[in-house]
Amino acid sequence: MTAFHTVGIIGKQDDAPRVLSTIRRLLTHLSACGCDTRLDPLSAQSLLLPERAMNTARLGGWADLVVVVGGDGTLLHAAREVAPHQTPLLGINLGRLGFLVDVSPECIEAYLDQILSGEFYEDQRCLLEVDSGQRTTLALNDVVIAKWNSVRMIELEIEIDGHFVNSQRSDGLIIATPTGSTAYALSGGGPLLHPALEALVLVPICPHTLSNRPLVISSHSQIALRLTHAPPEQVRITCDGQIELDVPENALIHIRRSVHRLRLLHPRGHDHFAILRAKLGWGGYQHAGSLC
């Protein structure tokens, strides 16, 4: 008996043959398993299945499970829509560097059978909520405040839980979740955080003071940022590299952990460190077995 009866499918937002062929395989196998399916509107249009179309924001409320076909970018978009419904996500990796989408398209049917029968590993990922003073939105990876259309540095005042931390001159600041620690924050010199940690990391972007280093704090902390000595029109807030927010003049920007969490499903035997080794190209000898 299947653990999931209604399945939403969100594809990478293009009509690449590999994406469409993978979705067709999913539809065929899910139908054979007795699951009712719906597609995001663009995928439904590309596959000439308009009767299966459902708005992405509604899929999370309708489905028992949402399957994402694409790369991490596709999953980031889906996560912000689905997480408020507490609907689990499964990622089929058609990208290049999937830390989040870890099911190979060559193994779709076998992995789906496992997951539909309830054999899977689930971890829950925290999201950030950012309030720019004009708009509030979510981010799974990171919130970045950075200079825009200018070569000049910006200056930020940073507070954590009401305590002044510093006034920072830099190209910007990355506030990342453990999930986002392998993204922009890693490129900026930040540490890798295990997904199970209740922590956030603040990573300065090209700071003027070399002693300004990444800072790891509790995920329960409340972060407040204020822009100083830079025109607001030269600064942008970016969430997951996908959503851009303007910075209102004299606004206090609030960033905190969201009350929503993403339920991310993996095939049985999921190994976070194996993914790090594969994706980051860590070398070393072949491991012979457990040290325990």
**pLDDT per residue as tens, the chain (292 positions):** 578 999 999 999 877 889 999 999 999 999 999 999 999 999 999 999 999 999 998 999 999 999 999 999 999 999 999 999 999 999 999 877 678 888 888 889 999 999 999 999 999 999 999 999 889 999 999 999 999 888 889 999 999 999 999 999 999 999 999 999 999 999 999 999 999 999 999 999 999 988 899 999 999 999 999 998 778 888 999 999 999 998 888 889 999 999 999 999 998 888 899 889 888 888 755 555 443 3
Three-state SS for 284?
Answer: coil
* CA distances to 35, 123, 164, 280 from 97, in Å: 30, 20, 37, 9
150 shares a domain with 74 = no
pLDDT for the residue numbered 285? 55
97 shares a domain with 11 = yes
pLDDT for the residue numbered 1? 54
Give 217's strand partners. 200
In sign, the C-alpha dihedral spanning 259, 171, 76, 232 is: positive
255 shares a domain with 149 = yes
pLDDT for the residue numbered 68? 96
215 shares a domain with 102 = no
Strands (E), the chain: 6-11, 36-39, 65-70, 89-93, 120-131, 136-139, 142-147, 154-160, 163-170, 172-176, 199-205, 215-218, 223-228, 235-239, 243-246, 252-267
pLDDT for the residue numbered 151? 84
Give 262's strand partners. 125
Is residue 270 situated within a structural domain?
A: no
Is residue 58 situated within a structural domain?
A: yes
Is residue 279 situated within a structural domain?
A: no
Is residue 145 situated within a structural domain?
A: yes
Describe the crossing of helices 17-32 and 108-116 by its angle, rounded to 10 degrees: 40
60 shares a domain with 21 = yes
252 shares a domain with 131 = yes
Last residue of a domain, one of 58, 89, 118: 118
167 shares a domain with 47 = no
Give the domain CATH number at 24: 3.40.50.10330
- The residue behind tokens 């003027």 is 208
Tally of helices (H runs) and strands (E runs) in the chain:
7, 16
Give 164's strand partners. 159
Note the pTM of the prediction, 2 decimals. 0.92
How many domains does the structure of the chain reveal?
A: 2
pLDDT for the residue numbered 44? 96
- Which pair of tokens denotes residue 174? 């990355």
The phi, psi pair for 208, rounded to 5°, reads: -70, -30
pLDDT for the residue numbered 164? 98
Separation between Cα atoms, residue 179 and residue 72, nearest integer Å: 11
Residues annotated as catalytic (active site), given as ranges: 72
- Which pair of tokens denotes residue 245? 């927010």
Give the domain CATH number at 254: 2.60.200.30
Q: Which domain holds residue 246?
A: 127-259
Is residue 141 situated within a structural domain?
A: yes
Is residue 271 situated within a structural domain?
A: no
Last residue of a domain, one of 89, 118, 147: 118
Last residue of a domain, one of 118, 141, 159: 118
